[in-house]
């Protein structure tokens, strides 16, 4: 189909200084968890987006010098010739599809701990970032940079920019955002200097200005130079000549970089979860930038709607439509708009599992796109699959995220698929979870897949079909795939931090009871040791129904694991807004219908809380009865010609939506292939030569 004419503006070529992007789709720098140690994994991950039509594809943070060392968090480097070769794999891959490659040169300043390099972190005035996130905490405080340090960082930036040009990058960044070094010079809280780099906004901007100047000198007319800058804090401070210091910064630098890449200041607002903010949430902070510069502006906002994208351009907010998460969830988003296939966009759900991968220190994972990060090592493509050599008749029982993804991928491979679910509508756990506060966008997991499945002639959908072993044997498919999900249990939790025992009382509820419409009576205590979103969101849900609710967890924070998805601060705010008392570091010991007894996790000291009901959000176990029943009927299965019974998703190993989708995709890819012991290709660093290093020579 042709492109909708009103979307054609998105496909105009755009200049970034001396280079030209083929369109306005700009994959802004984002963490991929793929360091230079995984150069082929990284190149293929980025290439998929270039193939899918993103006009500019950028790296994540790329350190310019060992004094910027974020380990154990993953980061790229441009320190030597081996690094150049590692990055060249990506630039070549991106160029194969006519897109530009950008590199986010980066110095972490006081926010890195240099755990590997063991150099002192650098900062304008010795002020550290005292993070509450355990992954970022450290006990090394930064050194105050003297003029020689500043000159050295400028030299490293210029040197890294020259290496970037050699590696084939078209756009080279200066990074002054998110608490990193350039940003620390901009903010008076970090910058207490009394020399020409501190004090007035003109002085605080000086370091960033010099970083841009040396970068431009280094790359000449071969690359565009982009400034990535966080504006949230500065936007809140009144300026002397402009409404805010953010305005003054842009005015001072207006003609210098070839592109402004503008963003928020902290990860929870910059990469905000859909649970707490919608599409385009950056606009109130960055909306003024274009009024002060003629240079192109790129910004993000989890944009997945082409109408919103067009409006951002026509309303003069942005020139480029920036995307990190939308490009992970659907590398082919631009191509689908260009080809009039908007309905096929696999929209990002804003769950932030992708960012949790970076916090975990592993390559990116995505709930919506199970192929993300698997392009090279497993050979998966976000849009194409190999056709099966010999199509089979496959029955999938359970149409939650795992069953839907498995059906879609098996259908694309040419199998004859029957998908049955006992419920009236498909979606499994999401049928309920999408109704919880802030989670409606998560249903995109279901919408995308059902939309495609309904178009496929070789997939039959059977809702309201409860299947037992007898029915399955009677249907006699070639294969059975069980995607029957998991159940929440009423198990408690021991001081050894493992699930233990059961709390058997009519006033005890699990999330499955709430999903089935059984609401607790009277004051309710939520005991959460699942630690992800469910405990917090159900607490909000009950409070919204007018039920007096309190929240207890053995962890140190409410919904403790959501620190990984940037949601934790906002979970606490949401609970506080609903006036929910939060008790941390406590176990639930017992409940008698009137009183719950809690014990401190470490001291064992007991406290009693009056409540009529208890909701336990703890351990999930597979719904495994059907698998067990089929296992006992091996002879009947063989007689019916059923060759295999496989399990996927939560019924195999209960997890997050991302695990279920990946599990469904994996089985669908593997059916009909010979699965080897080693399930994926292992990447290796590119090392042509390890340079000799002589300490005495280096010191001379
Ligand atoms: P996952 O996350 O692994 O996809 P879900 O719990 O979201 O798991 O979905 C499992 C689905 O399987 C639910 O919709 C449930 O109603 C369905 N289901 C479970 N047992 C059966 C069965 N015996 N017959 C048909 N559908 C079933
Ligand atoms: Fe979007 Fe979630 Fe995928 Fe991240 S993991 S890109 S937030 S769908």
Whether residue 146 sits in one domain with residue 53: yes
Question: Does the annotation mark 180 as catalytic?
Answer: yes
* 341 and 318 assigned to the same domain: yes
**Residue 409 pLDDT exceeds 70:** yes
Please determine, for residue 352, whether its predicted confidence score (pLDDT) is greater than 90: yes
How much of the chain, in percent, has pLDDT values that exceed 70?
99
The one catalytic residue in 26, 175, 180, 183 is 180
Query: Higher pLDDT residue, 268 or 553?
Result: 553
Q: Mark whether 295 and 420 lie in a shared domain.
A: no
Asked if residue 600 has pLDDT above 90, the reply is: yes
- Ligand nearest the Cα of residue 279 is 2
Torsion of CA 573, 575, 576, 581, to 10 degrees: -140
Residue 102 structure tokens: 């950008």
Nearest CA to ligand 2 atom 2: 351
The rounded distance, in Å, linking the Cα atoms of 612 and 505 is 11
- From the CB of 630, is ligand 1 less than 6 Å away? no
Domain boundary among 621, 643, 660: 621
417 occurs within a structural domain: yes
Residue nearest to atom 1 of ligand 2 (CA): 348
Domain shared by 627 and 649, yes or no: yes
Q: Which atom of ligand 1 approaches the CA of 626 most closely? A: 23
Is the shortest distance between the CB of 329 and ligand 2 below 6 Å?
yes
Mean pLDDT of the chain: 96
**Minimum CA distance residue for ligand 1 atom 12:** 398
Question: How open is the CA angle 384-372-434, to the nearest 5 degrees?
Answer: 100
Please report, to the nearest 10 degrees, the dihedral formed by the alpha carbons of residues 239, 245, 250, 251 taken in order: 20
Domain-located, residue 538:
yes
- Predicted pLDDT at 130: 87
For the stretch 248-300, pLDDT in tens is: 999 999 999 999 999 999 989 999 999 999 999 999 999 999 999 999 999 99
Please work out whether the CB of residue 310 comes within 6 Å of at least one atom of ligand 2.
no
> Is residue 609 one of the residues assigned to a domain?
yes
**Ligand 1 mean position to 400 CA, how many Å?**
6
What pLDDT score does 696 carry?
65
Task: Kindly state if the Cβ of 622 falls inside 6 Å of ligand 1.
Answer: no
pLDDT at 697: 62
* Mean pLDDT in residue range 322-332: 98
Q: Please tell me whether residues 638 and 493 are part of one structural domain.
A: no
Mean pLDDT for 567-576 is: 97
Domain with residue 46: its CATH number is 3.20.20.70
Q: How far is the CA of 412 from the centre of ligand 1 (A)?
A: 22
Q: Which ligand is nearest to the CA of 442?
A: 2
Q: Which ligand is nearest to the CA of 659?
A: 1
Nearest CA to 420 out of 472, 455, 470 is that of 472
> Does 678 have pLDDT greater than 80?
no
- Dump strand ranges (E) for 586-696: 586-591, 595-600, 606-610, 613-617, 620-622, 644-647
CB-ligand 2 contact for 351 (6 Å cutoff): yes
pLDDT of 209-252, one tens digit each?
A: 999 999 999 999 999 999 999 999 999 999 999 999 999 999 99
What's the whole-number mean pLDDT along residues 110-120? 96
Ligand nearest to the CA of 425: 1
pLDDT at position 137 is 87
Please name the residue whose Cα sits nearest to atom 6 of ligand 2: 325
Confidence of residue 691 (pLDDT cuts 50, 70, 90): confident
- Nearest Cα neighbor of 69 from 169, 181, 226 is 181
Does residue 280 lie in a domain region?
yes
* 456 and 471 share one domain: yes
In this prediction, residues 55-74 reach a mean pLDDT of 97
Ligand 1, closest atom to CA 483?
3
Q: What is the mean pLDDT of residues 584-608?
A: 97
Cβ 349 under 6 angstroms from ligand 2: yes
Q: Point out the domain boundary residue: 342, 360, 378.
A: 360
Does residue 487 have its Cβ closer than 6 Å to ligand 1? Answer: no
- Ligand 1 proximity of 639 Cβ (cutoff 6 Å): no
Predicted confidence (pLDDT) at residue 677 exceeds the cutoff of 80: no
Ligand 1 centroid to residue 230 C-alpha, Å: 44
Q: Is the pLDDT of residue 567 over 90?
A: yes
Residues 54 and 177 reside in one and the same domain:
yes
Ligand 1 center from residue 515 Cα (angstroms): 14
H/E stretch holding 172 reads strand 171-176
The answer to whether residue 556 sits within a structural domain is yes
How confident is the model at residue 676, as a pLDDT?
A: 64
Task: Report the pLDDT value the prediction gives residue 658, as an integer from 0 to 100.
Answer: 98
**Predicted pLDDT at 687:** 87
pLDDT tens across 420-465, in order? 999 999 999 999 999 999 999 999 999 999 999 999 999 999 999 9
Question: CA-to-CA distance for 369 and 472, rounded, in angstroms?
Answer: 30
Other CB atoms within 10 A of residue 504 CB: 8
Q: How far is the CA of 428 from the centre of ligand 1 (A)?
A: 5
* Closest to 589 in 3D by CA, of 604, 574, 599: 599
Tell me the CATH number at 462: 3.40.50.720
CATH code of residue 530: 3.50.50.60
Closest ligand, as measured to the CA of 445: 2
Average pLDDT rounded to a whole number, residues 630-644: 97
Distance, CA 26 to ligand 2 centroid (Å)?
Answer: 17
Cβ(348)–Cβ(328) under 8 Å?
yes
User: Range of 422's domain?
Assistant: 393-485+623-670
Residue 107 lies in a domain: yes
Rg of the chain over all Cα atoms, to the nearest angstrom: 27
Cα dist from 586 to 501, 554, 573, 583, whole Å: 17, 5, 21, 7
Ligand 1 centroid–CA 630 distance in Å is 16
Q: Which long-range contacts (CB under 8 A, 24 or more apart) does 440-444 make?
A: 441/274, 441/347, 441/349, 441/350, 442/274, 442/349, 442/351, 442/657, 444/346, 444/347, 444/348, 444/349, 444/368
Query: Residue 184 is inside which H or E element, if any?
Result: helix 181-186
pLDDT mean over 513-537: 97
Together in a domain, 87 and 164: yes
Lowest mean pLDDT among 369-378, 465-474, 496-505, 604-613: 496-505
Does residue 294 form part of some domain? yes
Q: Is residue 271 within 6 Å of ligand 2 at its C-beta?
A: no
Measured in Å, residue 328 CA sits from the centre of ligand 2 at 7
Based on the fold, state whether residues 342 and 436 are members of the same structural domain.
no
CA 70/CA 136 separation, integer angstroms = 9
Residue nearest to atom 6 of ligand 1 (CA): 485
Is 78 domain-assigned? Answer: yes
| Residues 297, 152 share a domain | yes
Domain co-membership, 63 together with 131: yes
CB of 377 shorter than 6 A to ligand 2 = no
With a 6 Å cutoff on the Cβ, whether 353 touches ligand 2 is: yes
How many domains are contained in the chain?
Answer: 3
Instruction: Confirm whether pTM is higher than 0.85.
Output: yes
Residue 234 and residue 267 in one domain: yes
Tokens of 172: 């080279």
pLDDT at residue 525 tops 70: yes
């Amino acid at each position: 189909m042709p492109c909708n004419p009103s979307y054609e503006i998105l496909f105009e070529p755009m200049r970034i200084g001396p280079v030209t992007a083929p369109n306005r789709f700009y994959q802004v720098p984002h963490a991929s968890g793929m360091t230079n140690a995984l150069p082929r994994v990284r190149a293929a991950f980025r290439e998929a987006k270039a193939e899918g039509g993103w006009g500019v594809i950028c790296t994540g943070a790329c350190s310019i010098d060992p004094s910027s060392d974020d380990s154990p968090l993953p980061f790229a480097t441009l320190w030597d010739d081996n690094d150049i070769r590692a990055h060249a794999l990506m630039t070549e891959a991106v160029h194969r599809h006519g897109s530009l490659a950008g590199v986010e040169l980066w110095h972490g300043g006081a926010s890195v701990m240099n755990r590997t390099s063991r150099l002192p972190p650098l900062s304008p005035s010795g002020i550290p970032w005292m993070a509450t996130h355990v992954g970022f905490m450290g006990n090394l405080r930064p050194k105050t940079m003297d003029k020689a340090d500043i000159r050295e960082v400028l030299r490293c930036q210029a040197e890294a920019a020259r290496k970037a040009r050699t590696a084939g990058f078209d756009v080279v960044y200066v990074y002054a955002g998110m608490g990193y070094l350039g940003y620390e010079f901009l903010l008076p809280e970090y910058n207490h200097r009394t020399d020409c780099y501190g004090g007035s906004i003109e002085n605080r901007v000086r370091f960033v200005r010099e970083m841009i100047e040396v970068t431009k000198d280094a790359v000449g007319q071969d690359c565009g130079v982009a400034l990535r800058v966080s504006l949230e804090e500065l936007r809140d401070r009144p300026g002397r000549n402009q409404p805010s210091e953010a305005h003054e910064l842009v005015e001072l630098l207006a003609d210098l970089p070839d592109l402004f890449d503008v963003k928020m200041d902290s990860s929870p607002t910059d990469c905000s979860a859909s649970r707490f903010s919608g599409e385009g949430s950056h606009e109130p902070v960055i909306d003024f930038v274009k009024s002060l510069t003629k240079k192109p502006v790129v910004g993000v906002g989890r944009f997945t709607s082409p109408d919103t994208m067009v409006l951002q351009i026509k309303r003069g907010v942005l020139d480029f439509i920036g995307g990190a998460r939308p490009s992970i969830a659907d590398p082919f988003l631009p191509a689908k708009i260009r080809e009039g296939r908007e309905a096929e966009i696999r929209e990002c759900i804003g769950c932030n599992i992708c960012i949790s991968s970076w916090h975990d220190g592993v390559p990116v994972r995505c709930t919506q796109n199970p192929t993300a990060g698997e392009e090279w090592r497993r050979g998966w493509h976000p849009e194409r699959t190999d056709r099966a050599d010999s199509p089979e008749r496959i029955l999938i029982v359970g149409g939650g995220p795992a069953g839907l993804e498995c059906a879609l991928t098996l259908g694309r491979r040419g199998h004859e698929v029957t998908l049955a679910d006992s419920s009236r509508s498909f979606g499994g756990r999401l049928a309920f979870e999408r109704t919880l506060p802030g989670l409606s966008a998560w249903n995109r997991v279901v919408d995308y897949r059902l939309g495609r499945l309904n178009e496929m002639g070789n997939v039959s959908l059977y809702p309201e079909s409860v299947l037992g072993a007898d029915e399955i044997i009677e249907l006699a498919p070639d294969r059975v795939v069980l995607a029957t999900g998991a159940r929440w249990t009423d198990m408690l939790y021991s001081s050894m931090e493992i699930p233990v025992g059961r709390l058997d009382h009519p006033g005890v509820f699990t999330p499955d009871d709430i999903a089935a419409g059984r609401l607790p009576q009277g004051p309710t205590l939520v005991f959460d040791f699942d630690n992800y979103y469910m405990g917090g969101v159900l607490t909000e849900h009950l409070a919204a129904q007018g039920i007096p609710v309190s929240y207890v967890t053995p962890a140190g924070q409410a919904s403790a694991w959501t620190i990984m998805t940037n949601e934790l601060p906002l979970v606490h705010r949401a609970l506080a807004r609903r006036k929910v008392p939060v008790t941390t570091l406590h176990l639930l010991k017992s409940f008698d219908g009137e009183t719950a007894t809690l014990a401190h996790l470490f001291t064992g000291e007991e406290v009693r809380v009056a409540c009529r009901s208890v909701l336990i959000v703890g351990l999930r176990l597979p719904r495994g009865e059907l698998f067990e029943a089929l296992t006992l009927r091996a002879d009947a299965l063989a007689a019916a010609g059923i060759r295999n019974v496989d399990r996927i998703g939560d019924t195999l190993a209960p997890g997050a939506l991302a695990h279920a989708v990946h599990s469904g995709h994996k089985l669908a890819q593997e059916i009909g292939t010979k699965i080897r012991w080693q399930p994926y290709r292992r990447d290796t660093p590119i090392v042509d030569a390890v340079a000799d290093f002589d300490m005495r020579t280096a010191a001379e």
